[in-house]
Amino acid sequence: MADALATITRVEGLGMIALRADLARAGDAIAEATGLALPAATSITTDGSRSLGWMSPDELLLILPGAELAEAQQALNQALTGEHALIADVSDARAVFDLVGAHAADALAKLAPVDFAALPADGLRRTRAAQTAAAIWRIDGGYRVIGFRSTGDYLATVLNNAALAGTTLAAR
């Protein structure tokens, strides 16, 4: 039997900071404090270890190695002094999965109403994966999926089920 459509691994140890602010006003300060360019709508910018994802017109998600979390949070707090802004550590509220493999897009296509093969290289798409909310973007050789930790077991189950060996969508 063929291999699974994608290798699915749960990623632990990432730090995540939810940022809410008026991005037109505070965008430059956020870009400077995080060391990343401000992402355009529905995209994500990265420098290799850190990423800054666009979540909504007034919300960003900073993803970084867990060890840098406290320092980054402090820098952001300092940069956004006086702004009406939210800087919240949401690391423990999220479940992160990496789907790596030639047919990872096929597995995601079974769960979300989105054509992930057409996702731009720096695209970030918030959608649903089966019945739970998820944000999905490209990583080397596949996709990264983040969802709520409270539905993380469910997300792991549906992802593994969608990636079962021999279930590619192309005609066989």
Interacting residue ranges for another protein, rule: CB under 8 A: 41-42, 55-57, 59, 113, 125-128, 133
Rounded to an integer, what distance in angstroms lies between the CA atom of residue 51 and that of residue 108?
Answer: 22
Residues 7 and 141: beta-carbon distance below 8 Å: no
Q: How far is the CB of 127 from another protein (least distance, A)?
A: 6
Our CB check for another protein shows the closer of 4 and 108 to be 108
Our CB check for another protein shows the closer of 70 and 133 to be 133
Q: How far is the CB of 55 from another protein (least distance, A)?
A: 7
Q: How far is the CB of 93 from another protein (least distance, A)?
A: 16
Structure tokens given for 57? 């017109």
Q: How far is the CB of 89 from another protein (least distance, A)?
A: 20
Residues 34 and 62: beta-carbon distance below 8 Å: yes
Residues 164 and 158: beta-carbon distance below 8 Å: no
Our CB check for another protein shows the closer of 117 and 133 to be 133
Q: How far is the CB of 133 from another protein (least distance, A)?
A: 5
Residues 68 and 16: beta-carbon distance below 8 Å: no
Our CB check for another protein shows the closer of 53 and 142 to be 53
Residues 24 and 123: beta-carbon distance below 8 Å: no
Our CB check for another protein shows the closer of 15 and 147 to be 147
DSSP label at residue 68: G
| DSSP H or E run through 153 | helix 152-162
Neighbours of 8 (CB within 10 A): 21
Structure tokens given for 130? 């089966």
